[in-house]
Structure 1
């Protein structure tokens, strides 16, 4: 698609990914309209559909979601309203105005067993309510639309909002050692890199499901160790098992995502997570 014909609406525009994506679209010279909860209520069909209709986009990137994984277990109705019904309303209006939809999903649609890399077509089986609602969103998108991109991401860190990197840096200010889970494996992913990929994706008609993460995998403990090493912080990471750090929601142990489809479709791989972390920390210092 020629960028002169593109008008992009981004939901969740003040979130980690949404804010970086709006910035990347602006850099690319593509008209971007960011929607936040102040602009429209995603759980109100009339509110969100009216807001999108008025903007007349050719592409909608649906980043908005209820992402507090543990809180989702206690707030099931709200999580369902945001992640499932909200996605349905957006898919419906996208279909009505003949726009493309980019739906941001998650590694949590998988059970997270074994050590193999999950492909885009592997069976899904979420182990927590957040993952279930994101999967339900995927199914709605697939049932209503032909022109859609479903992009599963994992372990994201960006400049807006809270994330693991910021949490580790904050905790290290007052602690000499931090216990971090060492038996969950995944790919830390910088939302700035994701945004570059999403802009290249939305220009194409290569529809379907994609996995998009930074290259390489690690455990949370290895991630924390690298954060401190790159930041020259002397804080010891104590590796612990998931069972020693009980949380409300079950977490998948294996979030390795195969990105073969991304490569076959001709897209550039995202940078290695360690390189991306270095860039991120440099930006944070500024």
Structure 2
């Protein structure tokens, strides 16, 4: 297939380009800021610069490329900044998908649009299904929902992929932030040391990290998400999908898992969302029910713990330690 990937220089987009080129597809990597990561040689994607908020430019490029499908990974993802920069968030996250939908419709291309768990308010106790009514709490969530609505109203051949809590090699993410803070404020456990003993010995020298414990969701590795997106494209089973690594956790438990897997001894303090005030309100529960993902592509993504382990190994991290008693 001939496939264009917008947001190709971002954390998810880079992995989508890699997955698709690895499968032998003819890929156009479309970006707003020039990337330096696609390499040289056979199988390398063609590269194009594009502002997805410019309808004329979008129509022009898609008209030239005439892809069979477009994967839209372009997004304004600064959740807190969106509260004060509503215009930019809506331009990228709402008008961008609208422009791509119009252009795709004109050339007969399918559109896979990546969306977010933040379209939901998090007020329910169980995981959200594709049939549940969105009700976003913040400007970012509103802008992403408007983007979904444009795609659904303008096209019939679309995939809307909602995902959550992304981490990957090619962009800033929660895991990276925790590793940086852990190295700065914690101590490192070397192979063969007793985790319990080191924690006791080092407690007085560790600066506590405050991490929210009342928000639940599914951390998702961009490598796994990219594979699922590529598989969805090959099904032509259009519609809305919830695609995350399996399992639900909190930011607090996620942080503790990161430190345990890397041998960092860090004093992690559980705090509530109210105690950790931020400009944008977050949903308390953003767990996503994957039905009918397995029924469509034949599998569910691995657990978030498995994904985290693979990601850390890619970074050259991870230690085997004796947990002690």
State TM-score, norm by structure 1.
Answer: 0.96
- Which of 82, 92, 115 is residue 82 of structure 1 equivalent to? 92
1:216 paired residue among 241, 247, 262: 247
Residue 12 (structure 2) aligns with: 17
1:267 to 261, 276, 298: 298
Where do residues 48-197 of structure 1 align in structure 2 (5 Å cutoff)? 48-175=58-185, 176=206, 177-197=208-228
Moved over 4 A (4+): none
Matched residue, 2:27? 32
Contact (CA 8 Å) 2:160, 2:239: kept in 1 or not?
yes
Aligned partners of 1:108 and 1:127 also within 8 Å: yes
Highest CA radius of gyration, 1 or 2?
2
The 2-side partners of 1:75 and 1:266 are apart by: 38
Segment drifting more, 246-255 vs 42-51:
42-51
Asked whether the 8 Å contact 1:26–1:32 carries over to 2, the reply is yes
SS in 2 for 1:32: strand
More off after superposition, 34-43 vs 65-74: 34-43
Once the 2 structures are TM-superposed, how far is the Cα of residue 266 of structure 1 from its aligned partner?
A: 4.3
CA offsets, 1:147-193, max 9 Å, x none? Answer: 10000000000111100000000011211331100000000000000
Question: 1:243 corresponds to which residue?
Answer: 274
Equivalent residue of 1:206, what SS? coil
Structure 1 alignment gaps of length 5 or more: 1-5
Relative to structure 2, which stretch is displaced further, 35-44 or 14-23? Answer: 35-44
Unaligned 5+ residue runs, structure 2?
Answer: 34-48, 186-205, 318-325
In structure 2, how many angstroms separate the alpha carbons of the residues matched to 1:189 and 1:266? 17
Structure 1, residues 92-150: CA drift from partner, whole Å, max 9, x if none?
00000000100100000101112111000101100001000110111110111011000
Contact 2:122 2:285 in 1 (8 A): yes
2:238 to 193, 207, 219: 207
